[in-house]
Amino acid sequence: MQTVVIPPHRLVFVETEPARCVFNLTEGVVKIYKMLPDGRRQVTGFIFPGDFLGLVQSPFYAYTAETVTEAKLCQFPRKRLEALLDKLPDLGDRLLGMASHELAIAQEQMILLGRKSARERVASFFLMLSKAAQRRGEQGNPISIPMQRGDIADYLGLTPETVSRTISRFNAQRLIQIKDDEQVSIVDPVALYKVAAGALRDAELGV
Amino acid sequence: MQTVVIPPHRLVFVETEPARCVFNLTEGVVKIYKMLPDGRRQVTGFIFPGDFLGLVQSPFYAYTAETVTEAKLCQFPRKRLEALLDKLPDLGDRLLGMASHELAIAQEQMILLGRKSARERVASFFLMLSKAAQRRGEQGNPISIPMQRGDIADYLGLTPETVSRTISRFNAQRLIQIKDDEQVSIVDPVALYKVAAGALRDAELGV
DNA sequence: CGAGCGATTGAACGCTCTCAAAGTGAGTGG
DNA sequence: CCACTCACTTTGAGAGCGTTCAATCGCTCG
């Protein structure tokens, strides 16, 4: 086991590459994504401190991982992990719990991608960021948005332009207040929740 | 452990309900889905014979399961499963492997929902059905499509009309041949693969 | 034979994308 | 310290894909 620090916008590992190590993120943000042959990209998740990375059964990584900010990672050789698994059966339970949790998140993301409008997606994204920040002990408001618009777009199944427009509109409608590209405060959390769930239409907000 | 047979279009269990049992499907097809408050639905997966159902860590089901066709299921009380887990540590490995596999499928579905066009989605769906049939020993062509258009639409993040139109178009372009609503033979598998991956555009197919 | 549900087909609309231009900020070098 | 560059974001205008609304078709069942 070994700690590594990786600068922003660097690959941690690449899809289809042999899965030699498992990582635990201690600082920073990492995005994971898959690509289509023609270059289209889907960001399948963002990894925050405390989360694991590269936990797969198969001998190859199923996705690419890339730092968003500078990241500090604990690196375990997979073989070591397997040996540990034999000694500590409780560890297997925890891994199963984590996989189960990730699966639930993945299904939530499917309903977002398959059935939500652009504004519902962006509202859901802000709330996700806020909850993720709270889960690691920070206050959920204002939220820091370390990833760039293109990453958000590829996470939400939109274009960067649509993400930008939607954020601007939320700002004009006083749901949020934009400080800068990376900092947004939630002005009306209740309304934002309603928008995310599709219970509050654009027309009802004026502007 | 006990075997149950459930008629078509019946609920097996419902989201948020206490997760008392785990199921193993031995015959038939089941769909699992999540809903938004306003009724929009996302089918997150179809379950085929051999697959497990309701494997969650949390005390509540994370989604609703409903039969598509008549289904035969083996039902395990969850407590029994947990007891078994203590005795057979290898079982934990298999469960982890299954969860890991499901996660990979979920990520594949995310790229479909987030980045693929309607025709790419429908082509991918046909190939998925074909592969699923082959995996359980049937021949993958012609494919049987037991679910109705609305289910397919909610799985692919489309409307039933778009699914229908897309299938008709594939038929006219001689990629597939429609026998009836539930039976389709793949005429040009190579072209269908290319369409699914976005490497073959509509315009290149004439008609 | 009629009722009813699902599938198909058609026409028009609208949300998001595409293409394009202008704005903004960080980093670099003079 | 300031001008320049370059990448990212924002904003605008127009186009297109999939949706919506509606009508027709076809099958199953009573």
For the segment B104-122, what is each residue's pLDDT rounded down to a tens digit? 999 999 999 999 999 999 9
Tens digits of per-residue pLDDT, B137-182? Answer: 999 999 999 999 999 999 999 999 999 999 999 999 999 999 999 9
Residues 6+ apart with CB under 8 A from B15: B34, B35, B60, B61, B62, B63, B64
The predicted pLDDT at position A174 comes to 96
Contact list, A34 vs chain B (CB under 8 Å): 107-108, 110-111
For A36, which of B93, B115, B157 is closest by C-beta distance? B115
The predicted pLDDT at position B85 comes to 83
Amino acid at residue number B177: Q
Q: What is the dihedral of CA A124, A66, A71, A187, to 10 degrees?
A: -20
DSSP character for B8?
A: T
Residues 6+ apart with CB under 8 A from A5: A70, A71, A72, A73
* Distance, CA of A71 to CA of A155 (rounded, Å): 20
Q: Which two tokens stand for residue A170?
A: 């939320």
* Distance, CA of A121 to CA of B114 (rounded, Å): 11
Residues in chain A, overall count: 207
> B50 and B28 in contact (C-beta within 8 Å)?
no
Residue–nucleotide distance: B198 CA to C26 C1' (Å)? 38
Query: How sure is the predictor about A85, in pLDDT bands with cuts at 50, 70 and 90?
Result: confident
Q: Compute CA B54 distance to the chain's CA centroid, rounded to the nearest angstrom.
A: 14
Q: Which of A27, A65, A67 is nearest to A44 (CA)?
A: A65
B82 by Cβ neighbours in 10 Å (0-12 / 13-18 / 19+) ranks as exposed
Tens digits of per-residue pLDDT, A26-84? Answer: 999 999 999 999 999 999 999 999 999 998 888 999 999 999 999 999 999 999 988 88
- Asked if B104 and A41 come within 8 Å (Cβ–Cβ), the reply is no
Query: How sure is the predictor about B88, in pLDDT bands with cuts at 50, 70 and 90?
Result: confident
The predicted pLDDT at position A93 comes to 86
- Asked if B115 and A63 come within 8 Å (Cβ–Cβ), the reply is no
A89: pLDDT strictly greater than 80: no
A206: pLDDT strictly greater than 80: no
Q: Which two tokens stand for residue A143?
A: 């939220």
* Distance, CA of B124 to CA of B114 (rounded, Å): 14
Strand, helix or coil for residue B47: strand
Q: Which nucleotide is nearest to B167 (CA to C1')?
A: C8
For B107, which of A37, A85, A106 is closest by C-beta distance? A106
Q: What is the dihedral of CA B10, B15, B21, B27, to 10 degrees?
A: 40
Contact list, A156 vs chain B (CB under 8 Å): 114
* Distance, CA of A129 to CA of B11 (rounded, Å): 34
Cβ of A150 near strand D (under 7 Å)? The reply is yes
Q: In the 3-class helix/strand/coil scheme, how is B52-66 assigned residue by residue?
A: EECCCCCCECCCEEE
Q: In what order do the strands lie in the sheet with A176-180?
A: A143-144, A183-186, A176-180
